[in-house]
Structures are given as C-alpha cells and as structure tokens.
Amino acid sequence: MGLVPTLSLGLYLLLILLGVIGGVFHMLTRFTAAFGIGVGILGIVVMMWIKSEHFALVLEWLLS
C-alpha cells in the first residue's frame, strides 16, 4: 500500500526531469524530432523497467 504513492511521486519527478532535460536539449539544439523519438524510446524502456521488480527495489532503496 505504501509503495503506490511513492511510485506515483517517482513518476511525477521523472516526468519533471524529462521535461527539464527536453527544454535544455531544445535550447541547445534544434533536433526536436530526434529528441522526441529518443524520449519515446526512453519512455518505453522506463515503462518496462517500472513493471519489473528491480525498479520497486531501487525506488525503495533510494527513498529509505
């Protein structure tokens, strides 16, 4: 029960981090389409990782 709010908080922070990285990358370069594809692939990888038990263990370790 305690992991669900933690997980949503982690996802929220991850989205903020991706947004910041995206903003910085967009300012530095103009390869927006390439970055969008990269974020898409990264998003798929992250979602696969979140579904694995490894992610939950790492998250618990980071927040303990």
Residue 32: predicted pLDDT: 65
DSSP 22-40: HHHHHHH---HHHHHHHHH
* Residue 31 Cα distances to 7, 8, 11, 57, 59, angstroms: 31, 30, 25, 35, 32
With bands split at pLDDT 50, 70 and 90, how would you rate the model's confidence at 1?
very low
How much of the chain, in percent, has pLDDT values that exceed 90? 0
Q: What is the dihedral of CA 30, 36, 39, 44, to 10 degrees?
A: -160
* Mean per-residue pLDDT, 3-13: 67
Q: Note if the pTM is more than 0.85.
A: no
pLDDT digits (tens, 9 = 90+) for 31-53: 666 777 777 788 877 777 777 77
* Structural domain boundaries enclosing 49: 3-63
When divided into structural domains, the chain yields a total of 1
Q: Please check the confidence at residue 12 and state whether its pLDDT lies above 60.
A: yes
Residue listed under structure tokens 């997980």? 7
